[in-house]
Structure 1
Amino acid sequence: MVGRVIDSYIVKPLRSRQFLIILAVLIAVSMSIAYVASVPRNYERFMSLSTLGRGMMASDYYPSNTPDIGLGDEVLWHIQVYNRMGSAEYIAIRVKLLNADMPIPDDNMHTPSPVEHVYEMRQVVANDATITMPLKWSVATVTRESGDDGGRYVVIKEMLINGERISTDVKSKDGRNFRLVMELWRYNPESRVFEFSWLDSMNERRSVWNQIWFNVR
């Protein structure tokens, strides 16, 4: 008697057509969710580069409130790279010292500044991740000379970058309008070299770089 009651109130509903329809719908929904999750999303491929000041903000770039620095004044910046290329990327940050007349990267042709870099940092960036690299620098040695135009020029002969002493030879009139250019380079596993530009998801060429100006007292 008890067995018949159980069969009547439990087994029959489980075998009903309505239950089978609901079960089929649930299975179909589960399979759809699993399929969508397994298919790579078509999103824009890009990397970004930011140069932040001492307080990890777009400010406090110099020890004082002006871009004027003296010999030995320590400047601390933070270089941030965000990777949205769809896979881990091996990148290089190439730092270049320029004056106002030296060529910067070309945003139209996506070519880097032809000036040789004075310092380089390399790092692996996971997909959809941000890394931060400190850039601590100072002007170690300068010379002062007269130009053919009668002006006075400051020549930066040595810099100290992240504890490494580096020889340079860039001059600017009255010590004004020097700049550090930070270029983002990406390692191409096919060519096995670092390249300044890459193709995005629309097959268009992209590149990124920053520059910050300063004066030497």
Structure 2
Amino acid sequence: MSSIMQRRIIVFILLFASFSLVYSSIAYYALSKPPAQEFMAWGVFSPSGALSNYFSGSEANVMSGKPFDWHFAITNRMGSIQYVQIVYRLGNSTSSSPNATDSGDSVPQLGNSSIFIPNARTAIVNFTWSLTKKPVSGGSVYINMTINGQQVSPSVSAVAGQKFRFFFELWTYDVTSKSFQYGYKGQNSRVGIPLQVWFNAV
């Protein structure tokens, strides 16, 4: 074999090895997926199955004795089964809202519901409620409520019955502390995902 042919073979082998390495790298990055981020998601749904139209009509007015059948849909993408608790509170326009890091501990709690949710599954939790107004005191309206069959008497009021609001919080069970903790465990800290719905007591 001539020296020219030998050099060509060597060059071919080097080029083949180089292109193989390049294409292998491209294929690796194209086919490799980053690890899925763990999260939980949820929403409060109206009887029509929408994330809106919670009340009949354009106004969020609630009449005494009228029942409302809502539900929560909670999706678990944490990689393992989760023990979840929904905490519901009643506030008004001046109440401190829960956020991504802090719960609404200063707002009266109305009750809670708990459920186990397997990984990659969505659970449904019913929330049926109605209210009755108490006598007005100095322009402030207090209400009694029935939530999932339980009667509650919140200590919060609203001027002329306007701008009450539900706060809904998602809590998850922490094995280390053996207690429910606000939000779910994120990569660096716990993540709160509160919901709220405004209404007027008329």
Q: Which of the five TM-score ranges fits, normalised by the shorter chain?
A: 0.7 to 0.9
Find out whether 1:112 has 2:97 as its counterpart: no
Amino acid at match of 1:177: K
Q: Is 1:57 the equivalent of 2:44?
A: no
Instruction: Tell me by how many angstroms 1:204 deviates.
Output: 4.0
Two-structure CA RMSD over aligned residues (Å): 1.5
Give the alignment's TM-score, normalised by structure 2: 0.79
Match of 2:63 among 48, 62, 70: 70
Q: How does 1:162-201 map to 2 (within 5 A)?
A: 162-200=148-186
Give the aligned partner of residue 153 of structure 1.
140
Amino acid at match of 1:112: S
> Is 2:192 the counterpart of 1:207?
yes
Instruction: Give matches, 1:31-42, under 5 Å.
Output: 42=35
The CA deviation string for residues 43-102 of structure 1, in whole angstroms up to 9 with x for no partner, is 101111201101111233114442101111111211111000000000000000001111
Matched AA of 2:124 = T
Compare CA radii of gyration and give the structure with the larger one: 1
Which 10-residue stretch deviates more, 90-99 or 57-66?
Answer: 57-66
Is the CA contact (8 Å cut-off) linking 1:63 and 1:73 kept in structure 2? Answer: no
Between the two proteins, what is the percent identity of the paired residues? 27
Equivalenced residue count is 168
Shift of 1:111: 1.1
Tell me the distance in 2 between the aligned counterparts of 1:56 and 1:119: 23
Moved over 6 A (4+): none
Q: TM-score normalized by structure 1? A: 0.73
Distance 1:198 1:132 in 2: 18
